[in-house]
């Protein structure tokens, strides 16, 4: 039975990215693991984590089943205790669903902390699918004035494809979400709602 790893990273309990990811998850027919990275943050990596990475490189270990072989010191064991359950969840998944808003042109720190914890040298996740349910306060779609500032989709696409060697990465975004609260965008609320409806349909 296919397994879904569902991650949310919005600091808002009621958010557009959460709405989109929940819509996708509601249609999932296999098993599912859920992790709320905002409500239960993953700690940032520390020096012991970097020592594990160095040892993996030094020993040419690329198989996650053997990552723990290099964990030796008390500090490394403490770091590995954080990594291991997160990594197990990722490796178990057939599909990784990530709900993520754009914060300051990029992804939330909570999501970046998770990525850092579960990513190791020359680590391939080929064969998995990633689905990104995004939300952005403005519009960063191709051809718009702010498209060059999109380090949200671009970062995730480049990282997942470039580091994880995954060629199946799908993005669905709700744009102009700030039209609900920003007077400067109030005239574009119709576009916001149209984008939301299109995203819900696409997801």
Report whether 16 belongs to an annotated binding site.
Answer: yes
Q: Are the beta carbons of 51 and 78 closer than 8 angstroms?
A: no
Report whether 17 belongs to an annotated binding site.
Answer: yes
Report whether 159 belongs to an annotated binding site.
Answer: no
Cα-based angle 156, 165, 56 (whole degrees, multiple of 5):
100
Report whether 171 belongs to an annotated binding site.
Answer: no
Report whether 9 belongs to an annotated binding site.
Answer: no
Report whether 14 belongs to an annotated binding site.
Answer: no
In three-state secondary structure terms, 142 is coil
Task: Provide the b/e sequence for 42-67 (b: ≥16 CB within 10 Å).
Answer: beebeebbebbeebbeeeebeebeeb
Residues belonging to the binding site are 10, 15-17, 102-105
Residues belonging to the binding site for FMN are 10, 15-17, 102-105
């Amino acid at each position: 039975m296919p397994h879904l790893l569902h991650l949310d990273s919005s600091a808002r309990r009621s958010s557009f990215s959460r709405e989109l990811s929940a819509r996708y998850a509601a249609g999932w027919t296999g098993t599912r693991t859920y992790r709320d990275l905002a409500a239960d943050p993953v700690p940032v990596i520390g020096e012991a984590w970097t020592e594990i990475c160095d040892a993996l490189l030094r020993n040419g270990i690329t198989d996650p089943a053997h990552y723990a072989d290099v964990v030796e010191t008390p500090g490394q064991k403490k770091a590995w205790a954080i990594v291991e359950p997160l990594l197990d969840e990722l490796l178990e998944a057939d599909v990784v669903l990530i709900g993520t808003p754009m914060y300051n042109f990029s992804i939330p720190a909570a999501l970046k902390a998770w990525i850092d914890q579960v990513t190791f040298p020359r680590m391939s996740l080929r064969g998995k699918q990633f689905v990104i349910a995004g939300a952005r306060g403005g519009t960063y779609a191709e051809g718009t004035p702010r498209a060059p500032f999109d380090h949200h989709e671009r970062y995730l696409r480049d990282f997942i494809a470039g580091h994880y060697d995954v060629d199946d990465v799908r993005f669905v975004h709700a744009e102009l979400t700030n039209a609900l609260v920003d007077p400067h965008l109030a005239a574009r609320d119709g576009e916001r709602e149209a984008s939301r409806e299109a995203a819900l349909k696409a997801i």
